[in-house]
Amino acid sequence: MSDQTDGNDETTDAATAPSESVPRPTVLFVDDEPFILDGLRRTLRHRRNLWNMEFIEGGKAALDRIAAGPFDVIVSDMRMPDVDGAAVLEAAATEHPESLRYILTGYADKEYLLRALGPAQRFFAKPCDAAEIAASIEKALTLRTMLPTEALRELMGRLKSVPVPSDTYYALLQQLDSPTASAKSVGAVLEEDLGLTTQILRLSNSAYFGLPKRLTRAQEAVEMLGMESIRALLTVAEFFLLTPLSSALADECKKLAERSMRIGGYARKFAQRHGMDPDIVTHAATAGLLSHIGSLVLQVNEPNSYARAMRYLDQHDTSVGAVERAMFGATHSELSAYLVAVWGFADPVVEAIAFHHHPAKAGPPERGALCAVHVAQAMAGADTGGEDAALFVHHGHEPVLDWDYLDALGLGDPLRAELGQAQEDG
């Protein structure tokens, strides 16, 4: 049973209504308890002219709605008697991979929680504040509007080879379905693929991550870096290092993999050094690792055009983004963010990838993953020896760092001091 709120109430605040030329996003709320849905409907009434909201009773009805057509966001309860929330979000991820998928779960739902780790992009603990859910949805939708979605879809339609998660990746998600999932069991799945295990351990043990000890087993890598970063390393290993390519293109992909590792490692160190929360540290490392997956996709699919774009960049006073947009319709950052969003990585990861060259475009400055990746890409872009030497380097005829953004966060002076110390030591 689905109940749609159409937003035509006379008391709607017209000042908050979107432009008629901009379609309102469709947001689905799924729960088996009618009174929960009624409460959400009342609490979110003020958004009825901003969103098309549908309130769906039960998991089976949700599956029917998912099959019926597209939507932008789905928020589902976990425990439902007919079809549970994990199954609902799995169907949403399969049928509409670009959708935003949130789950509501209680502390007693641990076995269900593990099953939702793949398709769910954010978890809310019950009882939860509807205003918090609405704010999260609004932020995520705003992020999506900042990306040139239609241009990216057109670009994706032209590409012949687009990376998709591997069988090993899906085996990892299946392992997470088990209520006894652990670093040991996830590591065991990884170790069934010797090539991937070797690559992941090599990448994990690189100097960029600065781990306190050398890792020798996949289980240790999962324990030290966390599942999200392992997913990112899996992506780097498969698409940058293990994809069959011509020798020339393989060399370029290895260079991109090296750059991605440096960005991920520097982002992790920067976030740790400045006391950011562990979740932010993980998001920063993950975003850094995946920030150039779009570059790989462009090189693999249109190597001649990509090479021509880079030659043009070297010869003209313009930016990487401007050249890529003119050549392909979107930038490597936007394409990377689009792919990572479809694969279900967290919104802070998507945001950090999309705007790591121009963080001010994402909104008010925050000490988060975006800030860390912005600094890390400058460090990784240094042609000289030390990582801090990149802080004033220009790449592609544009400033690498947005000092106004960093100063607003109180990070500009510490970075300048670090640069000065590095120059004295050097």
CA distance 269 to 283: 12
Judge if 140 and 199 occupy the same domain.
no
Query: Does residue 153 lie within any of the structural domains?
Result: no
Non-local CB neighbours of 34 within 8 Å, separated by 6+ positions: 57
First to last CA, the chain: 69
φ, ψ for residue 27, nearest 5 deg: -120, 125
Question: What's the total number of domains in the chain?
Answer: 2
Domain presence at residue 156: no
CB 124 within 8 A of CB 95: no
Residue 101 included in any domain: yes
Domain match, 289 and 366 both: yes
Range 258-261 contact pairs with CB under 8 angstroms and sequence separation of 24 or more: 259/292, 259/380, 260/236, 260/288, 260/289, 260/290, 260/291, 260/292, 260/293, 261/203, 261/206, 261/208, 261/236, 261/289
Ramachandran region, residue 329 (left: φ > 0; alpha: ψ -120 to 50; beta: rest): left
Domain extent for 321? 166-425
Q: Are residues 335 and 209 in the same domain?
A: yes
Q: Are residues 255 and 362 in the same domain?
A: yes
List phi, psi (to 5°) of 105.
Answer: -140, 150
The verdict on residue 161 lying in a domain is no
Residue 263 lies in a domain: yes
> Which structure tokens are listed for 85?
């929330």
Task: Decide if 347 contacts 121 (C-beta within 8 A).
Answer: yes
pLDDT 10s digits, 182-214? 777 777 777 776 666 776 777 777 666 677 778
Among 146, 181, 201, which residue terminates a domain? Answer: 146
Are residues 326 and 416 located together in one domain of the fold?
yes
Q: Please report the pLDDT score of residue 355 as a whole number.
A: 92
Question: CATH code at 78?
Answer: 3.40.50.2300
Q: What is the CATH number of the domain that holds 394?
A: 1.10.3210.10
The pLDDT profile of the chain, 426 residues, written as one tens digit per residue, is 556 554 443 333 333 444 455 678 999 999 999 999 999 999 999 898 899 999 999 999 999 999 999 999 999 998 898 898 889 998 998 888 778 888 887 644 555 555 665 577 677 777 778 888 888 888 778 777 776 767 776 776 666 655 555 556 556 655 544 455 677 777 777 777 666 677 677 777 766 667 777 877 778 877 777 777 777 777 776 666 555 666 767 777 777 778 888 898 899 999 999 999 988 998 998 899 889 888 888 887 788 888 888 888 888 878 888 888 888 888 889 888 888 876 667 789 989 999 999 999 988 999 999 999 999 988 886 543 443 333 334 444 445 789 999 999 999 998 888 766 555 555
Are residue 116 and residue 170 in the same domain, yes or no?
A: no
